[in-house]
Amino acid sequence: MRRNKPAVGDVRIKTRVDLRQTSSPPEAGGLSPEPAARLLNAFAKPFSTSVAAARTCYSSEVVTPQDVEKDERSRERRHALADSIYRAGHHTTLQHAEFQFVLENVSRLFIWSFLHSHPFYNSEQVSQRYVPVEPGRLAVPPLPEKPRALFQEIAAQLMTAYERLTELVYPSAAGEYERIFPLRNVREPGWGKMVRRRAQEAARYVLPLATHAHLYHTVSGLTLHRYHRLCLAYDAPLEQRTVVEKMLAEVRALDPLFVDHMEDPLSLEETPEYELFKQFHENRPPSREFLDEFDRSLGGRISKLVDYKVNGEAVLAQAVRSVLGVAQRRLADETAIDAVLDPSRNRYLGGSLNLASHSKLMRALLHMNFTFRRKLSHAADSQDQRHRMTPASRPLLAGHQAVEPDYIVPSLVKETPAALELYGETFEKLWKNLRRLSEMGVKQEFVLYLLPNAVPVRYEESGDLLHYHHKWSKRLCYLAQEEIWRACLDEVAQVKEVAPRVARHLGPPCALRSAAGQRPFCPEGDRFCGVKVWQLPLESYRRLI
């Protein structure tokens, strides 16, 4: 039973969180198989550590966790201070405690919508690009018998299509691979494995968002508080609540006090997203009006520059002068820009370790900003969102769900007629079955799990040049995911139009290392793409795999 809603401005701190009663499940039962969360590593005393950090701010000596729990008076003071600083919004102390979880049987929908939708985490998850997906490895929501049978039938059809597409596009991938590497025989197991990875990367676009992943996921105590508070929000509240409860159960076993001081979760109905979604979408059939309007605004691009600082280059140049304490007459704009962006002058750019945020000179790049409007498949965007310092306002997925098929086609599928035909047939059938599920009364939350990796994600993204520079260098590499690579190519081409003195220094790692005289030019070793990209202008970049 939920407690009364607090008055405006009141922050309720639980004296005890009952993980079994934080909210009633959206439906009887849970996901099958159940998600799993295991705490692998953590601070020994996260609650006392956070309070000790707070007390150290006002102490002539460092206060230790042992100091804040040494006797009854200290423990009383610890609780009072924890509540006080939390209510005041002084939450950085909670970041001193870190928790490393292993998560299993979690869906791609959950990871994209919840775990990776913010910048305050670190994850390493199994890749669908390199690891074949096994049949049956997916989350099945709690449904009555007939809808559940249809759900599983649809998922099985998508898995069959995935396996068939892998075989259909393999010859196209093999042909392109042998064109690039004429001395490599793809019939040899080693090279054949590399080609198969390219084939399954394209085929995975038909896999449903319900497909499982396993991962390491590390967060601070503050992020864990936020997870708990928002675990019932869109897009996958049942799975979000389930996983967060399991994470907190693991933390409770380590340090009950850390969990006891968390706020209640907000119900879905208390979130502003709920009210607005209900206003615009409840009792209305899905419409393509927004989707068509958005797509027209792209003008045929994957990513369109929609805003930037018109004086960006001048501001960047002045920021370089300000860092160095040099007058304009002594350091012209173009020379200042070259000083920070030309790898032959800035040796940081030729290394593997990204030092930009720690460099006084390179922090001048923070003052140039760009906003792009983008359309990527869910598969591509799930990778792209890992660039946490170029944040985006990603959508409520339910608000983008079209009645008719809506999907992205990877290049390998386009290049293979039989694969393209199967691809289209698969999605025609899928969307018909999605409508059937909705007509059977299945909640939209659960229908989303069967959307394919190919479904487009439309949104705006903004960032500064410092972090875009890092993203573009990594994603202009020919080994990068194809859609993200094309989006970055789009973006750099548009930056060239508005900031040519900056754009001439943008490129993949091999181009930067070549300009810096750093050998080998390609840092990927035996993963070398086979193309001397460092010798090509951006206008000549072409790739199929």
What does the DSSP assignment read for 269-317?
GGSHHHHHHHHHHTTS---SHHHHHHHHHTTT-SEEEEEE-TTHHHHHH
The residue to which tokens 């260098």 are assigned:
473
| CATH pick for 307-379+381-392+457-540 out of 3.30.1370, 3.30.1360, 1.10.760, 3.30.70 | 3.30.1360
The Cα–Cα gap between 513 and 510 comes to: 5
Confidence of residue 285 (pLDDT cuts 50, 70, 90): low
First to last CA, the chain: 54
Q: What is the pLDDT of residue 499?
A: 98
Rounded to 5, what percent of the chain is helix, strand, coil? 50, 10, 35
Closest CA to 492 of 512, 521, 465, 519: 465
Nearest residue to 390 via CA among 362, 369, 404: 369
Chain segment 220-250, per-residue pLDDT in tens: 999 999 999 999 999 999 999 999 999 999 9
**Does the pLDDT value for residue 11 go beyond 90?**
no
Q: What is the pLDDT of residue 26?
A: 38
Percentage of the residues of the chain whose pLDDT score is greater than 70: 94
Predicted confidence band of residue 485 (pLDDT cuts 50, 70, 90): very high
Q: What is the DSSP letter of 371?
A: E
Compute CA 13 distance to the chain's CA centroid, rounded to the nearest angstrom.
Answer: 30
At residue 508, the pLDDT reads 98
The reply to whether domains 36-128+213-278 and 307-379+381-392+457-540 share a CATH topology is yes
CB-CB neighbours of 163 under 10 Å? 15
Does residue 13 register a pLDDT over 90?
no
Cα–Cα distance for residue pair 366/368, rounded to 1 Å:
6
SS3 518: coil
H or E stretch covering 83: helix 72-87
Residue 387 and residue 487 in contact, taking contact as beta carbons nearer than 8 Å: no
Inter-residue contact 484 to 303 (CB < 8 Å): no
**Structure letter (DSSP) for residue 267:** P
Q: Rounded CA gap, 355 and 368, in Å?
A: 18
- Cβ neighbours around 125 below 10 Å, total: 18
Domain boundaries, given as residue ranges, for the chain = 36-128+213-278, 145-210+410-440, 307-379+381-392+457-540
Which of the pair, 420 or 189, is modelled with greater confidence? 420
Beta-bridged to residue 438, according to DSSP, are none
From the list 407, 380, 391, the residue with the least C-alpha distance to 486 is 380
**360: confidence class by pLDDT, cuts 50, 70, 90:** very high
**pLDDT higher than threshold 50 for residue 430:** yes
Average pLDDT over residues 425-442: 97
Strands 122-125 and 456-464: what pairing? unpaired
CATH-assigned architecture of domain 36-128+213-278: 2-Layer Sandwich (3.30)
Question: Residue 335 pLDDT > 50, yes or no?
Answer: yes
Per the prediction, the chain carries an average pLDDT of: 93
Q: Tell me the three state secondary structure of residue 459.
A: strand
- The arithmetic mean of pLDDT across residues 82-105, rounded, is 96
Mean pLDDT of the 6-35 span: 50
